Copies of this chain bind each other. A is one copy, B any other.
Amino acid sequence: MSDISPILEFLPCPTPETWIDEARKPENLAVILVDHANNELKAAQSAMAIMSRYRTGKFGRGNGQCDEQKDGPQLRIEDQLSLLNKMSRLAREELRHYEQVLAIMARRDIPYVHLGAGRYAGQLTAAIRRFEPFRLVDTLVMGAFIEARSCERFAALSPWLDDELHKFYLSLLKSESRHFRDYLALAETINGASIADRVAVFGEIEQDAIESSDPVFRFHSGAPDFPSDHS
C-alpha cells in the first residue's frame, strides 16, 4: 500500500466516521460506483479543459481563441510543456480508471443511472479567483484537494469492501497520490511563490464541505444528514 501520510497531512481533516458508516452499507454501493465513474470522467475533462485553455501558454480572456493576447502575460515554456504533458497523462489515467469502474459495474449488473453532482466540487470552484495567473493557480490547488480527498477516501473505505473493490481501491491510491503531487507542484511553480495562503483558503472550504451536514450521499459528500424519509 502506498504511503498516504503526505495526503493526510495536507488535508484539513479526516473523513468523518459517519460517512464511512454510510458508504459501507451494501445499498449504497451502486451510488459509490456510479459517482466514482462520473468523477473519473469529470477529472479527465477538467484536466483537458486546462490543456485547452492554456495550450499556447498565454493568459488570455478565457477561451484561448482571441488573437489580441499576443503580448500578454504567459507561462514560461518549460511550465507550459510540463502543464500540458502532466494534464494529458493524468487525463489518460483517469479514463483508464473510468473503464475499470465501468467493467466492475457491468460484472455486478449495476446500471449507469443518472446521478446529479454533490456540492463538493461546486463549493471549491466558487473560491477560484477570476483573474490570471491566479485562476490557473487556484484551479490547480483545487485539483490537488480533490485528488487528495479521493485518495484518502479510497484508503478509508477499502477495508470495508469486498475483495475485488478492496484491491481496486488500493490500486488507485498510487496514481491518485501522484496526481495530488503533480497538481500541487504545478500550482507552486506557476505561482512562482508559496501557495500556502491558497492552500489555507481551499482547506477551510474543503473542511466545511467534508465535516458539515450534507443531505446528499456521494463519494465526496459531507457528514450524512438525511431527511427522515430518505434513510
Contact surface of A with B, Cβ cutoff 8 Å: 37-38, 41, 44-45, 48, 51-52, 55-58, 64-65, 67, 69, 77, 80-81, 84-85, 88-89, 91-92, 95-96, 98-99, 102, 106, 111-114, 116
Contacts and interface: CB of A to CB of B under 8 A. Distances in A.
Given A88-B98, A99-B85, A80 B45 contact: no
Given A88-B99, A114-B67, A48 B41 contact: yes
Nearest to A45: B48
A41 B45 contact: no
Contact of A84 (B65, B102, B116): B102
A99 B89 contact: yes
Interface of A is mostly: helix
B106 A69 contact: no
A205 B158 CA distance: 53
Given A55-B112, A81-B106, 7 more contacts: A38-B55, A41-B48, A48-B48, A48-B95, A57-B112, A91-B91, A92-B95
Given A51-B41, A81-B102, A81-B106, A56 B113 contact: yes
B81 A88 contact: no
A59 to B, nearest CB: 12
Contacts of A99: 85, 88-89
